[in-house]
Structure 1
Protein backbone atom coordinates (compact mmCIF):
# COMPACT_ATOMS: atom_id res chain seq x y z
CA UNK A 1 0.00 0.00 0.00
CA UNK A 2 2.92 2.36 0.53
CA UNK A 3 3.51 2.57 -3.22
CA UNK A 4 -0.14 3.36 -4.09
CA UNK A 5 -0.46 6.54 -6.17
CA UNK A 6 -4.18 6.71 -7.08
CA UNK A 7 -7.08 5.87 -4.75
CA UNK A 8 -10.81 5.92 -5.62
CA UNK A 9 -13.23 5.90 -2.67
CA UNK A 10 -16.19 7.76 -4.13
CA UNK A 11 -19.81 7.02 -3.13
CA UNK A 12 -18.93 4.83 -0.15
CA UNK A 13 -20.86 6.66 2.56
CA UNK A 14 -17.64 7.91 4.19
CA UNK A 15 -18.27 10.53 6.85
CA UNK A 16 -14.91 10.71 8.66
CA UNK A 17 -11.69 11.07 6.68
CA UNK A 18 -9.50 10.55 9.76
CA UNK A 19 -10.73 6.96 10.06
CA UNK A 20 -9.27 6.13 6.65
CA UNK A 21 -5.70 6.50 7.98
CA UNK A 22 -4.56 7.99 4.68
CA UNK A 23 -1.24 9.17 6.12
CA UNK A 24 0.21 5.73 5.51
CA UNK A 25 -0.08 6.28 1.73
CA UNK A 26 3.00 8.46 1.47
CA UNK A 27 3.26 8.17 -2.32
CA UNK A 28 -0.39 8.91 -3.06
CA UNK A 29 -0.78 11.45 -5.84
CA UNK A 30 -4.54 11.40 -6.57
CA UNK A 31 -7.41 10.88 -4.11
CA UNK A 32 -11.07 10.68 -5.16
CA UNK A 33 -13.67 11.02 -2.37
CA UNK A 34 -16.65 12.56 -4.18
CA UNK A 35 -20.21 11.61 -3.36
CA UNK A 36 -19.65 10.75 0.30
CA UNK A 37 -20.89 12.33 3.54
CA UNK A 38 -17.67 14.06 4.60
CA UNK A 39 -18.17 17.20 6.70
CA UNK A 40 -14.57 17.97 7.66
CA UNK A 41 -11.38 17.89 5.55
CA UNK A 42 -8.80 16.17 7.74
CA UNK A 43 -6.34 13.29 7.94
CA UNK A 44 -4.20 14.42 4.98
CA UNK A 45 -1.04 15.29 6.93
CA UNK A 46 1.01 12.38 5.53
CA UNK A 47 0.04 12.95 1.86
CA UNK A 48 2.90 15.26 0.97
CA UNK A 49 3.01 14.04 -2.66
CA UNK A 50 -0.69 14.60 -3.34
CA UNK A 51 -1.33 16.36 -6.67
CA UNK A 52 -5.12 16.03 -7.08
CA UNK A 53 -7.87 15.92 -4.45
CA UNK A 54 -11.56 15.48 -5.34
CA UNK A 55 -14.16 16.19 -2.62
CA UNK A 56 -17.21 17.12 -4.72
CA UNK A 57 -20.74 16.44 -3.49
CA UNK A 58 -20.05 16.07 0.23
CA UNK A 59 -21.25 18.00 3.29
CA UNK A 60 -18.26 20.24 3.91
CA UNK A 61 -19.20 23.55 5.53
CA UNK A 62 -15.80 24.99 6.43
CA UNK A 63 -12.06 24.41 6.03
CA UNK A 64 -9.98 23.99 9.18
CA UNK A 65 -6.50 25.34 9.83
CA UNK A 66 -5.01 21.85 9.41
CA UNK A 67 -7.10 20.78 6.39
CA UNK A 68 -4.27 21.31 3.86
CA UNK A 69 -1.30 21.77 6.15
CA UNK A 70 0.93 19.33 4.20
CA UNK A 71 -0.41 19.85 0.64
CA UNK A 72 2.31 22.18 -0.59
CA UNK A 73 2.46 20.49 -4.01
CA UNK A 74 -1.28 20.05 -4.61
CA UNK A 75 -2.19 21.12 -8.15
CA UNK A 76 -5.97 20.52 -8.37
CA UNK A 77 -8.66 20.81 -5.72
CA UNK A 78 -12.26 19.86 -6.55
CA UNK A 79 -14.62 20.82 -3.76
CA UNK A 80 -17.82 21.72 -5.66
CA UNK A 81 -21.38 21.02 -4.48
CA UNK A 82 -20.71 21.38 -0.78
CA UNK A 83 -21.89 23.95 1.77
CA UNK A 84 -18.83 26.19 2.00
CA UNK A 85 -19.46 29.83 2.99
CA UNK A 86 -15.91 30.93 3.80
CA UNK A 87 -12.55 30.39 2.11
CA UNK A 88 -10.11 30.19 5.00
CA UNK A 89 -6.82 28.37 5.61
CA UNK A 90 -5.75 28.02 1.97
CA UNK A 91 -2.26 29.44 2.52
CA UNK A 92 -0.38 26.09 2.24
CA UNK A 93 -1.64 25.59 -1.34
CA UNK A 94 1.08 27.70 -2.94
CA UNK A 95 1.32 25.44 -6.02
CA UNK A 96 -2.41 25.06 -6.63
CA UNK A 97 -3.26 25.56 -10.31
CA UNK A 98 -6.98 24.67 -10.49
CA UNK A 99 -9.71 25.29 -7.92
CA UNK A 100 -13.33 24.27 -8.45
CA UNK A 101 -15.79 25.80 -5.96
CA UNK A 102 -19.04 25.65 -7.94
CA UNK A 103 -22.42 25.14 -6.27
CA UNK A 104 -21.43 26.20 -2.75
CA UNK A 105 -22.78 28.95 -0.47
CA UNK A 106 -20.31 31.76 -1.18
CA UNK A 107 -22.21 35.05 -0.94
CA UNK A 108 -19.74 37.83 -0.17
CA UNK A 109 -17.18 38.86 -2.76
CA UNK A 110 -14.70 39.50 0.04
CA UNK A 111 -14.45 35.73 0.40
CA UNK A 112 -13.07 35.55 -3.12
CA UNK A 113 -10.48 38.15 -2.19
CA UNK A 114 -8.95 35.51 0.10
CA UNK A 115 -7.86 33.58 -2.99
CA UNK A 116 -4.96 36.01 -3.36
CA UNK A 117 -2.98 33.58 -1.17
CA UNK A 118 -2.91 31.23 -4.20
CA UNK A 119 -0.19 32.78 -6.37
CA UNK A 120 -0.12 29.95 -8.93
CA UNK A 121 -3.87 29.74 -9.63
CA UNK A 122 -4.67 29.62 -13.37
CA UNK A 123 -8.22 28.22 -13.37
CA UNK A 124 -11.07 29.05 -11.01
CA UNK A 125 -14.76 28.14 -10.99
CA UNK A 126 -17.38 29.62 -8.67
CA UNK A 127 -20.40 28.93 -10.90
CA UNK A 128 -23.62 28.37 -8.96
CA UNK A 129 -22.62 30.47 -5.93
CA UNK A 130 -24.70 33.53 -5.00
CA UNK A 131 -21.62 35.71 -5.47
CA UNK A 132 -21.42 34.77 -9.15
CA UNK A 133 -25.03 35.48 -10.14
CA UNK A 134 -24.38 38.92 -11.64
CA UNK A 135 -20.80 38.25 -12.86
CA UNK A 136 -19.58 41.30 -10.92
CA UNK A 137 -16.87 39.10 -9.42
CA UNK A 138 -14.99 38.80 -12.71
CA UNK A 139 -13.14 42.17 -12.81
CA UNK A 140 -11.84 41.88 -9.21
CA UNK A 141 -10.74 38.28 -9.72
CA UNK A 142 -9.04 39.04 -13.02
CA UNK A 143 -7.25 41.96 -11.38
CA UNK A 144 -6.20 40.19 -8.17
CA UNK A 145 -5.17 36.83 -9.64
CA UNK A 146 -2.47 37.82 -12.10
CA UNK A 147 -1.96 34.31 -13.50
CA UNK A 148 -5.65 33.47 -13.91
CA UNK A 149 -6.42 32.14 -17.41
CA UNK A 150 -9.89 30.59 -17.05
CA UNK A 151 -12.72 31.88 -14.84
CA UNK A 152 -16.00 29.98 -14.66
CA UNK A 153 -15.12 28.10 -17.82
CA UNK A 154 -14.48 31.29 -19.84
CA UNK A 155 -11.03 32.33 -21.00
CA UNK A 156 -9.62 35.52 -19.49
CA UNK A 157 -8.49 37.61 -22.45
CA UNK A 158 -5.96 40.44 -22.55
CA UNK A 159 -8.83 42.78 -23.40
CA UNK A 160 -10.72 41.79 -20.26
CA UNK A 161 -7.64 42.19 -18.09
CA UNK A 162 -6.95 45.63 -19.57
CA UNK A 163 -10.55 46.65 -18.94
CA UNK A 164 -10.33 45.48 -15.34
CA UNK A 165 -7.14 47.49 -14.80
CA UNK A 166 -8.66 50.65 -16.29
CA UNK A 167 -11.84 50.21 -14.29
CA UNK A 168 -9.81 49.85 -11.10
CA UNK A 169 -7.76 52.98 -11.85
CA UNK A 170 -10.69 55.13 -13.02
CA UNK A 171 -14.26 53.88 -13.52
CA UNK A 172 -14.85 56.59 -16.14
CA UNK A 173 -11.90 55.35 -18.19
CA UNK A 174 -13.70 52.11 -19.00
CA UNK A 175 -15.42 53.87 -21.88
CA UNK A 176 -12.01 53.90 -23.58
CA UNK A 177 -11.44 50.16 -23.08
CA UNK A 178 -10.71 48.00 -26.13
CA UNK A 179 -13.94 46.95 -27.72
CA UNK A 180 -15.92 49.87 -26.36
CA UNK A 181 -17.88 51.62 -29.08
CA UNK A 182 -20.41 54.40 -29.37
CA UNK A 183 -23.30 54.59 -31.86
CA UNK A 184 -22.55 56.87 -34.77
CA UNK A 185 -25.65 56.67 -36.93
CA UNK A 186 -28.12 58.39 -34.61
CA UNK A 187 -27.24 61.24 -32.27
CA UNK A 188 -29.89 62.58 -29.92
CA UNK A 189 -29.17 65.70 -27.92
CA UNK A 190 -31.02 66.67 -24.70
CA UNK A 191 -33.75 69.30 -24.51
CA UNK A 192 -34.59 69.12 -28.20
CA UNK A 193 -37.27 71.20 -29.86
CA UNK A 194 -39.80 69.11 -31.79
CA UNK A 195 -39.38 69.21 -35.54
CA UNK A 196 -42.19 70.86 -37.52
CA UNK A 197 -43.92 68.70 -40.17
CA UNK A 198 -43.74 69.84 -43.77
CA UNK A 199 -46.80 72.04 -43.79
CA UNK A 200 -45.70 74.74 -46.25
CA UNK A 201 -43.06 73.29 -48.57
CA UNK A 202 -41.07 75.60 -50.80
CA UNK A 203 -40.51 74.14 -54.23
CA UNK A 204 -38.23 75.05 -57.06
CA UNK A 205 -35.03 74.87 -55.06
CA UNK A 206 -32.14 72.59 -56.06
CA UNK A 207 -29.12 71.24 -54.20
CA UNK A 208 -26.02 72.47 -55.95
CA UNK A 209 -22.58 73.91 -55.50
CA UNK A 210 -21.46 74.56 -51.96
CA UNK A 211 -24.65 73.13 -50.45
CA UNK A 212 -23.90 69.71 -52.01
CA UNK A 213 -20.36 69.85 -50.63
CA UNK A 214 -21.76 70.79 -47.23
CA UNK A 215 -24.15 67.83 -47.11
CA UNK A 216 -21.66 65.20 -48.27
CA UNK A 217 -18.48 66.65 -46.82
CA UNK A 218 -19.48 67.10 -43.19
CA UNK A 219 -20.48 64.54 -40.59
CA UNK A 220 -20.86 67.00 -37.71
CA UNK A 221 -22.98 70.06 -37.01
CA UNK A 222 -21.55 73.47 -38.04
CA UNK A 223 -19.96 75.45 -35.26
CA UNK A 224 -22.75 78.08 -35.30
CA UNK A 225 -25.52 75.54 -34.60
CA UNK A 226 -26.71 75.29 -31.02
CA UNK A 227 -26.54 71.55 -30.28
CA UNK A 228 -28.95 71.89 -27.34
CA UNK A 229 -31.81 72.73 -29.74
CA UNK A 230 -31.31 70.33 -32.62
CA UNK A 231 -31.28 66.66 -33.50
CA UNK A 232 -28.84 65.63 -36.18
CA UNK A 233 -29.35 62.33 -37.92
CA UNK A 234 -27.46 61.05 -40.91
CA UNK A 235 -26.74 57.90 -42.82
CA UNK A 236 -23.21 57.13 -44.00
CA UNK A 237 -22.69 57.30 -47.77
CA UNK A 238 -20.34 55.01 -49.65
CA UNK A 239 -17.21 56.69 -51.02
CA UNK A 240 -17.82 58.06 -54.46
CA UNK A 241 -21.59 57.70 -54.38
CA UNK A 242 -23.49 59.98 -56.68
CA UNK A 243 -25.07 63.15 -55.24
CA UNK A 244 -28.81 63.25 -55.60
CA UNK A 245 -29.87 66.31 -57.59
CA UNK A 246 -33.23 67.74 -58.44
CA UNK A 247 -35.95 69.54 -56.56
CA UNK A 248 -35.83 69.48 -52.78
CA UNK A 249 -38.40 70.48 -50.19
CA UNK A 250 -37.50 72.79 -47.34
CA UNK A 251 -39.61 73.78 -44.34
CA UNK A 252 -38.49 76.76 -42.30
CA UNK A 253 -39.22 77.31 -38.63
CA UNK A 254 -38.00 80.10 -36.36
CA UNK A 255 -36.19 79.08 -33.20
CA UNK A 256 -36.17 81.59 -30.37
CA UNK A 257 -32.82 82.51 -28.88
CA UNK A 258 -31.56 85.25 -26.58
CA UNK A 259 -30.82 88.38 -28.53
CA UNK A 260 -32.46 90.69 -31.00
CA UNK A 261 -31.71 88.80 -34.21
CA UNK A 262 -32.55 85.12 -33.79
CA UNK A 263 -31.34 82.93 -36.65
CA UNK A 264 -33.66 80.96 -38.91
CA UNK A 265 -33.40 77.21 -39.07
CA UNK A 266 -34.29 75.26 -42.24
CA UNK A 267 -35.00 71.56 -42.39
CA UNK A 268 -33.92 70.11 -45.75
CA UNK A 269 -35.60 66.90 -47.01
CA UNK A 270 -33.97 65.07 -49.94
CA UNK A 271 -35.59 61.63 -49.46
CA UNK A 272 -32.76 59.92 -47.60
CA UNK A 273 -31.03 62.58 -45.47
CA UNK A 274 -32.06 65.03 -42.79
CA UNK A 275 -29.73 68.01 -42.41
CA UNK A 276 -30.04 71.02 -40.15
CA UNK A 277 -29.03 74.28 -41.87
CA UNK A 278 -28.79 77.48 -39.85
CA UNK A 279 -29.04 80.82 -41.66
CA UNK A 280 -27.17 83.95 -40.82
CA UNK A 281 -26.02 84.44 -37.24
CA UNK A 282 -25.97 87.80 -35.52
CA UNK A 283 -22.39 88.39 -36.65
CA UNK A 284 -23.31 87.77 -40.29
CA UNK A 285 -26.52 89.81 -40.09
CA UNK A 286 -24.53 92.84 -39.00
CA UNK A 287 -23.13 92.97 -42.54
CA UNK A 288 -26.62 93.40 -43.95
CA UNK A 289 -28.62 96.27 -42.44
CA UNK A 290 -32.29 95.54 -41.85
CA UNK A 291 -31.69 91.79 -42.50
CA UNK A 292 -30.95 92.42 -46.18
CA UNK A 293 -34.26 94.28 -46.80
CA UNK A 294 -34.31 97.53 -48.73
CA UNK A 295 -34.46 100.65 -46.56
CA UNK A 296 -37.90 102.13 -46.02
CA UNK A 297 -38.86 104.87 -48.45
Structure 2
Protein backbone atom coordinates (compact mmCIF):
# COMPACT_ATOMS: atom_id res chain seq x y z
CA UNK A 1 0.00 0.00 0.00
CA UNK A 2 2.95 2.28 0.66
CA UNK A 3 4.04 1.86 -2.95
CA UNK A 4 0.71 3.20 -4.20
CA UNK A 5 1.37 6.71 -2.86
CA UNK A 6 5.17 6.67 -3.04
CA UNK A 7 5.35 8.40 -6.48
CA UNK A 8 2.93 11.23 -5.61
CA UNK A 9 5.49 13.76 -4.27
CA UNK A 10 7.66 13.10 -7.33
CA UNK A 11 5.12 14.20 -9.93
CA UNK A 12 6.11 17.83 -9.43
CA UNK A 13 9.69 16.89 -10.33
CA UNK A 14 8.73 14.76 -13.33
CA UNK A 15 6.23 17.22 -14.82
CA UNK A 16 8.80 19.73 -16.16
CA UNK A 17 10.97 16.93 -17.56
CA UNK A 18 8.11 15.17 -19.34
CA UNK A 19 6.28 18.34 -20.27
CA UNK A 20 2.88 17.62 -18.73
CA UNK A 21 0.55 19.87 -16.79
CA UNK A 22 -2.29 19.65 -14.27
CA UNK A 23 -4.65 17.72 -16.53
CA UNK A 24 -2.13 14.93 -17.13
CA UNK A 25 -1.43 14.79 -13.40
CA UNK A 26 -5.17 14.31 -12.86
CA UNK A 27 -5.16 11.60 -15.52
CA UNK A 28 -2.34 9.80 -13.68
CA UNK A 29 -4.48 9.66 -10.54
CA UNK A 30 -7.54 8.55 -12.54
CA UNK A 31 -5.61 5.71 -14.20
CA UNK A 32 -4.51 4.45 -10.78
CA UNK A 33 -8.09 4.47 -9.51
CA UNK A 34 -9.27 2.71 -12.68
CA UNK A 35 -6.69 -0.04 -12.20
CA UNK A 36 -7.76 -0.52 -8.58
CA UNK A 37 -11.46 -0.75 -9.47
CA UNK A 38 -10.70 -3.13 -12.34
CA UNK A 39 -8.70 -5.42 -10.04
CA UNK A 40 -11.41 -5.42 -7.39
CA UNK A 41 -13.96 -6.25 -10.06
CA UNK A 42 -12.00 -8.95 -11.89
CA UNK A 43 -9.63 -10.47 -9.34
CA UNK A 44 -11.01 -9.78 -5.85
CA UNK A 45 -12.85 -13.11 -5.60
CA UNK A 46 -10.28 -15.08 -7.60
CA UNK A 47 -8.23 -16.02 -4.54
CA UNK A 48 -11.29 -17.77 -3.08
CA UNK A 49 -10.97 -20.27 -5.93
CA UNK A 50 -7.28 -20.49 -6.85
CA UNK A 51 -5.64 -19.72 -3.50
CA UNK A 52 -4.28 -16.71 -1.63
CA UNK A 53 -0.58 -17.24 -2.29
CA UNK A 54 -0.73 -17.28 -6.12
CA UNK A 55 -2.61 -13.97 -6.16
CA UNK A 56 -0.36 -12.35 -3.54
CA UNK A 57 2.78 -13.54 -5.32
CA UNK A 58 1.48 -12.21 -8.63
CA UNK A 59 0.64 -8.90 -6.96
CA UNK A 60 4.17 -8.59 -5.57
CA UNK A 61 5.61 -9.28 -9.03
CA UNK A 62 3.23 -6.73 -10.55
CA UNK A 63 4.42 -4.26 -7.92
CA UNK A 64 8.04 -4.90 -8.93
CA UNK A 65 7.12 -4.41 -12.59
CA UNK A 66 5.31 -1.13 -11.99
CA UNK A 67 8.22 0.09 -9.84
CA UNK A 68 10.67 -0.78 -12.61
CA UNK A 69 8.50 1.19 -15.05
CA UNK A 70 8.64 4.20 -12.72
CA UNK A 71 12.43 3.89 -12.80
CA UNK A 72 12.50 3.75 -16.60
CA UNK A 73 9.74 6.29 -17.28
CA UNK A 74 10.85 9.18 -19.46
CA UNK A 75 7.50 9.83 -21.14
CA UNK A 76 3.88 10.21 -20.09
CA UNK A 77 2.79 6.92 -21.64
CA UNK A 78 5.19 4.84 -19.56
CA UNK A 79 4.21 6.77 -16.44
CA UNK A 80 0.52 6.08 -17.07
CA UNK A 81 1.23 2.40 -17.70
CA UNK A 82 3.18 2.14 -14.45
CA UNK A 83 0.40 3.87 -12.56
CA UNK A 84 -2.30 1.66 -14.06
CA UNK A 85 -0.39 -1.50 -13.13
CA UNK A 86 0.17 -0.05 -9.67
CA UNK A 87 -3.59 0.36 -9.29
CA UNK A 88 -4.24 -3.23 -10.36
CA UNK A 89 -1.88 -4.71 -7.78
CA UNK A 90 -3.34 -2.41 -5.09
CA UNK A 91 -6.80 -3.86 -5.75
CA UNK A 92 -5.44 -7.40 -5.51
CA UNK A 93 -3.58 -6.72 -2.27
CA UNK A 94 -6.50 -4.96 -0.61
CA UNK A 95 -8.89 -7.89 -0.89
CA UNK A 96 -6.57 -10.89 -0.95
CA UNK A 97 -4.20 -9.97 1.88
CA UNK A 98 -7.07 -9.17 4.24
CA UNK A 99 -8.80 -12.46 3.36
CA UNK A 100 -5.53 -14.37 3.92
CA UNK A 101 -5.05 -12.77 7.34
CA UNK A 102 -8.60 -13.67 8.27
CA UNK A 103 -8.02 -17.30 7.26
CA UNK A 104 -4.80 -17.56 9.24
CA UNK A 105 -6.11 -15.81 12.35
CA UNK A 106 -9.38 -17.71 12.63
CA UNK A 107 -12.91 -16.59 13.37
CA UNK A 108 -12.10 -15.73 16.98
CA UNK A 109 -9.63 -13.01 15.98
CA UNK A 110 -11.69 -11.05 13.46
CA UNK A 111 -11.35 -7.83 15.45
CA UNK A 112 -7.56 -8.12 15.41
CA UNK A 113 -7.57 -8.82 11.67
CA UNK A 114 -9.67 -5.75 10.94
CA UNK A 115 -7.36 -3.63 13.10
CA UNK A 116 -4.19 -4.90 11.41
CA UNK A 117 -5.74 -4.58 7.95
CA UNK A 118 -6.81 -0.99 8.59
CA UNK A 119 -3.41 -0.08 10.01
CA UNK A 120 -1.61 -1.66 7.05
CA UNK A 121 -3.84 -0.06 4.42
CA UNK A 122 -4.24 3.42 5.85
CA UNK A 123 -0.76 3.47 7.39
CA UNK A 124 0.82 2.44 4.11
CA UNK A 125 -1.09 5.09 2.17
CA UNK A 126 0.03 7.80 4.60
CA UNK A 127 3.65 6.64 4.90
CA UNK A 128 4.04 6.41 1.12
CA UNK A 129 3.68 10.14 0.56
CA UNK A 130 5.94 10.90 3.54
CA UNK A 131 8.65 8.51 2.33
CA UNK A 132 8.43 9.83 -1.23
CA UNK A 133 8.72 13.40 0.01
CA UNK A 134 11.72 12.61 2.22
CA UNK A 135 13.58 10.89 -0.61
CA UNK A 136 12.75 13.78 -2.96
CA UNK A 137 13.98 16.33 -0.42
CA UNK A 138 17.12 14.63 0.85
CA UNK A 139 17.93 11.78 -1.53
CA UNK A 140 20.96 11.86 -3.78
CA UNK A 141 19.02 10.72 -6.85
CA UNK A 142 15.69 12.51 -6.59
CA UNK A 143 13.47 10.30 -8.74
CA UNK A 144 15.27 6.93 -8.68
CA UNK A 145 16.65 6.15 -5.22
CA UNK A 146 13.19 5.88 -3.68
CA UNK A 147 12.15 3.22 -6.21
CA UNK A 148 15.38 1.24 -5.86
CA UNK A 149 14.83 1.20 -2.10
CA UNK A 150 11.24 0.08 -2.57
CA UNK A 151 12.31 -2.73 -4.92
CA UNK A 152 14.73 -3.95 -2.24
CA UNK A 153 11.88 -3.96 0.27
CA UNK A 154 9.79 -6.17 -2.00
CA UNK A 155 12.30 -9.04 -1.67
CA UNK A 156 11.40 -9.94 1.94
CA UNK A 157 7.74 -9.30 1.12
CA UNK A 158 7.88 -11.89 -1.67
CA UNK A 159 9.68 -14.38 0.59
CA UNK A 160 7.01 -13.84 3.27
CA UNK A 161 4.29 -14.70 0.73
CA UNK A 162 6.16 -17.86 -0.32
CA UNK A 163 6.47 -19.21 3.24
CA UNK A 164 2.93 -18.26 4.29
CA UNK A 165 0.66 -21.35 4.50
CA UNK A 166 -2.00 -21.63 1.82
CA UNK A 167 -5.49 -21.53 3.32
CA UNK A 168 -7.58 -22.35 0.25
CA UNK A 169 -7.64 -26.09 -0.33
CA UNK A 170 -10.38 -26.56 -2.95
CA UNK A 171 -9.03 -24.85 -6.06
CA UNK A 172 -11.06 -23.99 -9.14
CA UNK A 173 -9.66 -22.20 -12.26
CA UNK A 174 -12.94 -20.92 -13.57
CA UNK A 175 -12.70 -17.17 -14.30
CA UNK A 176 -14.74 -16.35 -17.36
CA UNK A 177 -17.54 -14.52 -15.56
CA UNK A 178 -15.75 -11.18 -15.42
CA UNK A 179 -13.01 -11.76 -17.97
CA UNK A 180 -14.84 -9.89 -20.73
CA UNK A 181 -15.27 -6.56 -18.87
CA UNK A 182 -11.75 -6.89 -17.44
CA UNK A 183 -10.20 -7.21 -20.93
CA UNK A 184 -12.38 -4.42 -22.28
CA UNK A 185 -11.61 -1.96 -19.47
CA UNK A 186 -7.89 -2.76 -19.54
CA UNK A 187 -7.74 -2.35 -23.31
CA UNK A 188 -9.57 0.98 -23.32
CA UNK A 189 -7.32 2.27 -20.53
CA UNK A 190 -4.14 1.22 -22.36
CA UNK A 191 -4.98 2.57 -25.79
CA UNK A 192 -6.42 5.78 -24.41
CA UNK A 193 -3.27 6.41 -22.36
CA UNK A 194 -1.08 5.74 -25.36
CA UNK A 195 -3.28 7.85 -27.61
CA UNK A 196 -2.30 10.81 -25.45
CA UNK A 197 1.35 9.71 -25.58
CA UNK A 198 1.18 9.18 -29.37
CA UNK A 199 2.53 5.61 -29.27
CA UNK A 200 1.17 3.46 -32.11
CA UNK A 201 2.40 -0.01 -30.94
CA UNK A 202 0.86 0.27 -27.49
CA UNK A 203 -2.30 1.79 -28.95
CA UNK A 204 -2.56 -1.33 -31.13
CA UNK A 205 -1.97 -3.54 -28.09
CA UNK A 206 -4.72 -1.79 -26.17
CA UNK A 207 -7.05 -2.23 -29.13
CA UNK A 208 -6.25 -5.97 -29.14
CA UNK A 209 -7.08 -6.23 -25.43
CA UNK A 210 -10.33 -4.32 -25.84
CA UNK A 211 -11.24 -6.40 -28.90
CA UNK A 212 -10.71 -9.59 -26.88
CA UNK A 213 -13.09 -8.27 -24.24
CA UNK A 214 -15.70 -7.36 -26.85
CA UNK A 215 -15.52 -10.82 -28.44
CA UNK A 216 -15.84 -12.57 -25.06
CA UNK A 217 -18.81 -10.40 -24.09
CA UNK A 218 -20.44 -10.87 -27.49
CA UNK A 219 -20.11 -14.67 -27.36
CA UNK A 220 -21.51 -14.87 -23.85
CA UNK A 221 -24.32 -12.52 -24.81
CA UNK A 222 -25.33 -14.70 -27.73
CA UNK A 223 -25.31 -17.80 -25.52
CA UNK A 224 -27.34 -16.04 -22.83
CA UNK A 225 -29.90 -14.77 -25.33
CA UNK A 226 -30.36 -18.27 -26.73
CA UNK A 227 -30.93 -19.80 -23.28
CA UNK A 228 -33.30 -17.08 -22.10
CA UNK A 229 -35.43 -17.03 -25.24
CA UNK A 230 -38.64 -18.97 -25.72
CA UNK A 231 -37.68 -21.87 -28.07
CA UNK A 232 -40.37 -20.69 -30.46
CA UNK A 233 -38.91 -17.15 -30.57
CA UNK A 234 -35.15 -17.71 -30.55
CA UNK A 235 -34.59 -15.80 -33.79
CA UNK A 236 -36.66 -12.89 -32.48
CA UNK A 237 -34.62 -12.68 -29.27
CA UNK A 238 -31.32 -12.95 -31.15
CA UNK A 239 -32.32 -10.26 -33.65
CA UNK A 240 -33.03 -7.92 -30.73
CA UNK A 241 -29.65 -8.75 -29.22
CA UNK A 242 -27.83 -8.07 -32.51
CA UNK A 243 -29.76 -4.82 -32.94
CA UNK A 244 -28.45 -3.48 -29.63
CA UNK A 245 -24.97 -4.89 -30.26
CA UNK A 246 -24.55 -3.15 -33.61
CA UNK A 247 -26.11 0.02 -32.28
CA UNK A 248 -23.27 -0.02 -29.77
CA UNK A 249 -20.73 0.07 -32.61
CA UNK A 250 -22.40 3.06 -34.27
CA UNK A 251 -23.21 5.38 -31.37
CA UNK A 252 -19.62 6.04 -30.17
CA UNK A 253 -18.51 6.90 -33.71
CA UNK A 254 -21.34 9.39 -34.14
CA UNK A 255 -20.73 10.82 -30.67
CA UNK A 256 -17.03 11.29 -31.41
CA UNK A 257 -17.87 13.12 -34.62
CA UNK A 258 -20.24 15.46 -32.77
CA UNK A 259 -17.86 16.11 -29.86
CA UNK A 260 -14.99 16.72 -32.23
CA UNK A 261 -16.86 19.72 -33.62
CA UNK A 262 -16.79 21.54 -30.28
CA UNK A 263 -13.87 20.23 -28.20
CA UNK A 264 -10.37 18.86 -28.65
CA UNK A 265 -10.31 15.38 -30.19
CA UNK A 266 -8.18 13.91 -27.38
CA UNK A 267 -10.64 15.18 -24.78
CA UNK A 268 -13.53 13.84 -26.85
CA UNK A 269 -12.02 10.34 -26.99
CA UNK A 270 -11.32 10.50 -23.25
CA UNK A 271 -14.99 11.29 -22.54
CA UNK A 272 -16.11 8.36 -24.68
CA UNK A 273 -13.50 6.08 -23.09
CA UNK A 274 -14.87 6.89 -19.64
CA UNK A 275 -18.39 6.13 -20.84
CA UNK A 276 -17.32 2.84 -22.43
CA UNK A 277 -15.45 1.80 -19.27
CA UNK A 278 -18.31 2.77 -16.96
CA UNK A 279 -20.82 0.58 -18.81
CA UNK A 280 -19.17 -2.85 -18.30
CA UNK A 281 -18.03 -1.86 -14.81
CA UNK A 282 -21.58 -1.04 -13.77
CA UNK A 283 -22.89 -4.20 -15.43
CA UNK A 284 -20.30 -6.49 -13.82
CA UNK A 285 -20.67 -4.98 -10.36
CA UNK A 286 -24.47 -5.16 -10.41
CA UNK A 287 -24.73 -8.62 -11.98
CA UNK A 288 -25.91 -11.53 -9.83
CA UNK A 289 -23.20 -13.88 -8.65
CA UNK A 290 -24.69 -16.82 -10.56
CA UNK A 291 -22.77 -16.90 -13.81
CA UNK A 292 -23.99 -17.83 -17.26
CA UNK A 293 -21.48 -20.40 -18.55
Structure with the larger RCO, 1 or 2 (CA within 8 Å, 6+ apart):
2
Q: Would you say same fold, with TM above 0.5?
A: no
Normalising to structure 2: TM-score of the pair? 0.18
Using structure 1 for the length normalisation, give the TM-score: 0.18
Q: Which has the larger radius of gyration?
A: 1
More helix by percentage: 2
Q: Higher strand proportion, which one?
A: 1
